[in-house]
Amino acid sequence: MTTFTRGFHGRRRGEDDRLPPGQYLAEDFPVLSAGPTPHVPLDRWEFTIDTEAGQTHRWTWQELTALPYEEPVVDIHCVTSWSKLGTTWRGVSLDVLFEDVESTADYALVYSYGGYTTNLPLDDLMDGKAWIAYRYDGEDLTPSHGGPARLLVPHLYFWKSAKWVHGIRLLTEDWPGFWETAGYHNYGDPWREQRYADD
Amino acid sequence: MQADYLDGNALAGPLAEIFAADVSAAVSRCAACGQTGPVASLRVYDRAPGLVARCPGCEEVVLRLVRSPDSAWLDLRGAVTLRIPLRDGTGPGGQR
Ligand SMILES: [Zn+2]
């Protein structure tokens, strides 16, 4: 296991430095959802990576949670303007899951139980920037926060951190997801305030 | 348990900005299952970056509405039709 901390760089940065433009600090953890909460039994849960060549890599719940995990501490930023600093997670780095995946794709479409999708460049999932997270704040991730497992990609607005994650499809062409087809920004960098399509 | 959605009347205000007619009184047909019913009976998830209205029959998305500072984004892919009640008038086929 690897444990490390992000968001704290030796000296603890001031809260103001860590708040992207247009965001306010939330003390609680608001629950956002575009539909009913899926309840997936762990013995039927699986995570898949589908490559552009048609290969499928699969992990059961037992297989996923047996992999080396990390415990990132990260700031998260919701497009509805709340941010939460120093949130603690446990999850498997996408670098671990992609170790044996052969792909030249540039794009990823993340899909969830319940039908949600979101897209991002594959590079944004690699190099220690993204996890499949299954614990939050020392507890199993609850269904309302996306449990049993969600994508965690904290450098983008939090709608990219798909709750109830089911898999990732690798694509040679970009395929906009649920909010990206309804007026939200295709990339969603909170530091450049990329909220809506034309931002 | 408290419902995590509102009924379709929650769409009346946000849609009034776009449509002259009261759309919550319209009848929609779900593109996924074909169920027909008043827009007011849709299940509206509003604790989200936009409004997501789902069919009470199959839970598929019927309508989505995102409001940015200068635009409204309306997605009606999940609705085959919206039947909007209007006052007596002339149809596309000519005069009545
Ligand atoms: Zn339906």
What is the DSSP track for A135-192? EETTEEPPGGGTTT-EEE-TTS-GGGS-TTEEEEEEESS----TTTTTTB-SS--GGG
Residue-number span of the structural domain to which B49 is assigned = 6-85
Which of A184, A186, A193 is best to mutate for the B interface (most B CBs within 10 A)? A184
Cα–Cα distances in Å, from A29 out to A77, A85, A89, A145, A158?
Answer: 11, 11, 13, 9, 12
What is the DSSP track for A67-103? S--B--EEEEE-TTSEEEEEEEEEEEEHHHHTTT---
What's the CA gap between B53 and A94, in Å, rounded? Answer: 33
Q: Tell me, in angstroms, the distance from the centre of ligand 1 to residue A197's CA.
A: 29
Give the distance from residue B28's alpha carbon to the nearest chain A alpha carbon, in angstroms: 19
Mean predicted lDDT score pLDDT of chain B: 91
What's the CA gap between A105 and A151, in Å, rounded? Answer: 19
**A131 vs A7, residue with greater confidence:** A131
Q: Give domain status of residue B14, yes or no.
A: yes
The tokens describing A92, both together, are 């498997």
Q: Tell me the residues surrounding ligand 1 (ion) with CB < 5 Å.
A: B 30, 32-33, 35, 55, 57-58
Q: Give domain status of residue B64, yes or no.
A: yes
Number of domains in chain B: 1
The tokens describing A137, both together, are 């704040």
Of the pLDDT bands very low, low, confident and very high (cuts 50, 70, 90), residue B2 is: low
Mean pLDDT of A3-29: 73
- Domains of chain A plus CATH, in order, are 48-192 (3.90.420.10)
Residue B49 sits at the chain A interface (C-beta within 8 Å)? yes
The pLDDT score that the predictor gives to residue A16 is 75
> Whats the size of chain B, residue-wise?
96
Q: Give domain status of residue B31, yes or no.
A: yes
Q: Give domain status of residue B93, yes or no.
A: no
The pLDDT score that the predictor gives to residue A9 is 43
The tokens describing A145, both together, are 């926060």
pLDDT digits (tens, 9 = 90+) for A29-62: 999 999 999 999 999 999 999 999 999 999 999 9
Strand partners, B91: B94
E strand or H helix at A47: strand A46-50
Residues of A in contact with B45 (CB under 8 A): 33-35
Mean pLDDT of B48-53: 97
The tokens describing A126, both together, are 């690699």
Q: What is the ipTM of this complex?
A: 0.88
Mean pLDDT of B71-95: 85
Residue A183 sits at the chain B interface (C-beta within 8 Å)? yes
Q: Give domain status of residue B94, yes or no.
A: no
Instruction: Name the burial class of residue B42, with classes exposed (0-12), middle (13-18) and buried (19+) by CB atoms within 10 angstroms of its CB.
Output: buried
pLDDT digits (tens, 9 = 90+) for A105-155: 999 999 999 999 999 999 999 999 999 999 999 999 999 999 999 999 999
Mean predicted lDDT score pLDDT of chain A: 94
